[in-house]
């Protein structure tokens, strides 16, 4: 492994402080490293591997597609993509889909769509209001909407016209709204910012305000969407329905896909406005269709909801035993535990004992396991964590 690290240092740009080993195989919620050591994986590629590893139906679908055709241009009709768009729209209030390759690209697409709507339907309105502590991705547009200095600082000035409001503070948002605002973008559960769910009442007020002021309401559900909350989409939990939604991560079950969905009223792209060479190609869509089938037809959403309730209950029990845990937050299988001090030691000790966990900021450990996780696996993960916390 030392050798691999050396090679990595030689040839990779230093964008990640990667751990000094790689993973070579996986099955269900478990992965193995190159020494044969097994880990229970509660990172899941950071909320990506919805079906875990080596899921038979997922593998079958992509193998079949692989042997037929993996890519052709969107210049041709794409059956797998249309099937995926049908699954997403028939199971939501949205009417239309656009496919891209990642979360940040889905935010770029939503941003362009909102800007076009502002220009053509709202007298040239061009400003966007985003939230402090948000995370929307690393490309220039998405980074402009990301309300965290640590990500933005090396790259300012970013795109103009972005204003930040305090998350869950309706009065602050209201103050930021004027007739030049074309869109508001919110993560219904802030993920990278530390697993902070929005207040239901707050989101309802935001919805009413956007409708009244003719502002596009965008929900970034890149991390919280696709079954993670125990609902297909997080906004169903909140009972608040955005005009546009951003999706990625779990949708492809490990294959790179992003999407935006919108209602017909807001579906204002025309040929030439936006595109992606690889966006929604047959291979990634065949994988995403398998994920959607598991969620919708094979009870995975209900399973995730039940597992999420169990996880929360166990985390609350753990908090009762450990005074260093100061808060438990989240919905479904997107949970965070906040500690009174830094978490890096806890994460590495858990890894030693065979549990993979990831942080969300300095003091929050995030739980985003595969949606197929069982109660037994949750028990095992929490046993390891309990033993590790002093
Ligand atoms: C809410 C949210 N939006 C956007 C992104 C960016 O997604 P990607 O890394 O696929 O570009 C992330 C990634 O963590 C995210 O959590």
> How many angstroms does the Cα of residue 252 sit away from the middle of ligand 1?
13
Q: What percent of the chain has pLDDT over 90?
A: 99
Q: Is the predicted pLDDT of residue 83 greater than 80, yes or no?
A: yes
Residue 301: CB within 6 Å of ligand 1? Answer: no
Tell me what pLDDT residue 105 has: 99
Most ligand 1 atoms within 8 A of CB, residue of 186, 248, 336 to mutate: 248
> How many angstroms does the Cα of residue 123 sit away from the middle of ligand 1?
31
Q: Is the predicted pLDDT of residue 1 greater than 90, yes or no?
A: no
pLDDT tens across 172-228, in order?
999 999 999 999 999 999 999 999 999 999 999 999 999 999 999 999 999 999 999
Residue 20: name the closest of 280, 351, 315 by CA.
351
Residue 108: CB within 6 Å of ligand 1? Answer: no
Domain limits, CATH 3.90.1150.10, in the chain: 2-55+299-388
> How many angstroms does the Cα of residue 135 sit away from the middle of ligand 1?
7
Q: What residue spans of the chain are helical by DSSP H?
A: 2-11, 44-47, 56-68, 79-90, 103-121, 140-144, 149-152, 170-176, 200-213, 234-238, 282-297, 300-321, 344-352, 375-388
Residue 34, classed as helix, strand or coil, is coil
Q: How far apart are alpha carbons 328 and 195 in whole angstroms?
A: 9
Could you tell me the pLDDT band of residue 171, with boundaries at 50, 70 and 90?
Answer: very high
Residue 366: CB within 6 Å of ligand 1? Answer: no
Q: Is the predicted pLDDT of residue 344 greater than 80, yes or no?
A: yes
Q: Is the predicted pLDDT of residue 287 greater than 90, yes or no?
A: yes
Residue 223: CB within 6 Å of ligand 1? Answer: yes
Residue 103: CB within 6 Å of ligand 1? Answer: yes
Residue 157, classed as helix, strand or coil, is coil
Tell me what pLDDT residue 2 has: 77
Q: Establish whether the linkage from the previous residue to 157 is cis, with ω within 30° of 0.
A: yes
C-alpha pair distances (Å), 299 with each of 107, 226, 296, 315: 29, 13, 6, 24
Residue 252, classed as helix, strand or coil, is helix
Report the DSSP beta bridge partners of residue 100: 258
**CB-facing half-sphere around the CA of 376: CA atoms within 13 A:** 3
What average pLDDT does this structure show over 85-113? 98
Atom from ligand 1 closest to the CA of residue 258: 10
CATH code for 2-55+299-388? 3.90.1150.10
What average pLDDT does this structure show over 132-136? 98
Both ends of the chain: CA-CA distance in Å? Answer: 31
Residue 388: name the closest of 345, 336, 340, 338 by CA.
345
CATH architecture of 57-297: 3-Layer(aba) Sandwich (3.40)
What average pLDDT does this structure show over 373-381? 98
Residue 102: CB within 6 Å of ligand 1? Answer: yes
Provide the whole-model pTM: 0.98
Q: How far apart are alpha carbons 357 and 337 in whole angstroms?
A: 11
Tell me what pLDDT residue 159 has: 97
pLDDT tens across 243-284, in order?
999 999 999 999 999 999 999 999 999 999 999 999 999 999
Residue 80: CB within 6 Å of ligand 1? Answer: no
Average pLDDT over the chain, rounded to whole?
Answer: 98
Residue 260: CB within 6 Å of ligand 1? Answer: no
Residues 6+ apart with CB under 8 A from 264: 95, 96
Q: Is the predicted pLDDT of residue 68 greater than 80, yes or no?
A: yes
Secondary structure letter of residue 60 according to DSSP: H
Atom from ligand 1 closest to the CA of residue 102: 10
Residue 370: CB within 6 Å of ligand 1? Answer: no
Atom from ligand 1 closest to the CA of residue 256: 10
Domain limits, CATH 3.40.640.10, in the chain: 57-297
Tell me what pLDDT residue 390 has: 79
């Amino acid at each position: 492994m030392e050798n691999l690290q050396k090679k990595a240092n030689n040839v990779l740009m230093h964008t990640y402080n990667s751990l000094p080993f790689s993973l070579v195989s996986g099955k269900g919620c478990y992965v193995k490293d190159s020494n044969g050591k097994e880990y229970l994986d509660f990172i899941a590629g950071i909320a990506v591997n919805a079906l875990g590893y080596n899921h038979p139906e997922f593998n079958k679908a992509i193998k079949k597609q692989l042997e037929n055709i993996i890519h052709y241009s969107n210049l041709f009709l794409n059956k797998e993509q249309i099937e995926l768009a049908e699954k997403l729209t028939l199971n939501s209030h949205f009417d239309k889909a656009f496919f891209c390759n990642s979360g940040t690209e889905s935010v770029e697409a939503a941003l362009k769509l909102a800007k076009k709507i502002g220009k053509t339907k709202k007298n040239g309105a061009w400003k966007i209001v985003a939230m402090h502590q948000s995370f929307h991705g690393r490309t220039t547009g998405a980074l402009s909407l990301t309300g965290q200095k640590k990500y933005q600082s090396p790259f300012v000035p970013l795109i103009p016209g972005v204003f930040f409001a305090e998350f869950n503070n309706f009065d602050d948002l209201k103050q930021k709204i004027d007739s030049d605002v074309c869109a508001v973008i919110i993560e219904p559960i802030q993920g990278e910012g530390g697993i902070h769910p929005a207040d239901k009442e707050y989101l309802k007020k935001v919805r009413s305000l956007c409708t009244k002021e003719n502002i596009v309401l965008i929900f970034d559900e890149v991390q919280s969407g696709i079954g993670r909350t125990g609902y297909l989409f997080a906004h169903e939990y909140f009972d608040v329905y955005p005009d546009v939604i951003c999706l990625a991560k779990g949708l492809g079950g490990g294959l790179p896909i992003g999407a935006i969905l919108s209602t017909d009223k807001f579906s204002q792209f025309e040929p030439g406005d936006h595109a992606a060479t690889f966006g929604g190609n047959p291979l990634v869509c065949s994988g995403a269709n398998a994920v959607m089938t598991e969620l919708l037809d094979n009870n995975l959403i209900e399973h995730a909801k039940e597992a999420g309730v169990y996880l929360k209950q166990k985390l609350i029990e753990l908090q009762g035993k450990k005074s260093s845990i100061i808060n438990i937050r989240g919905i479904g299988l997107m949970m965070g535990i906040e500690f009174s001090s830094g978490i890096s030691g806890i994460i590495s000790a858990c890894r030693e004992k065979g549990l993979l966990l990831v942080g969300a900021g300095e003091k929050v450990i995030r739980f985003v396991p595969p949606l197929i996780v069982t109660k037994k696996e949750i028990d095992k993960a929490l046993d390891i964590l309990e033993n590790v916390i002093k």
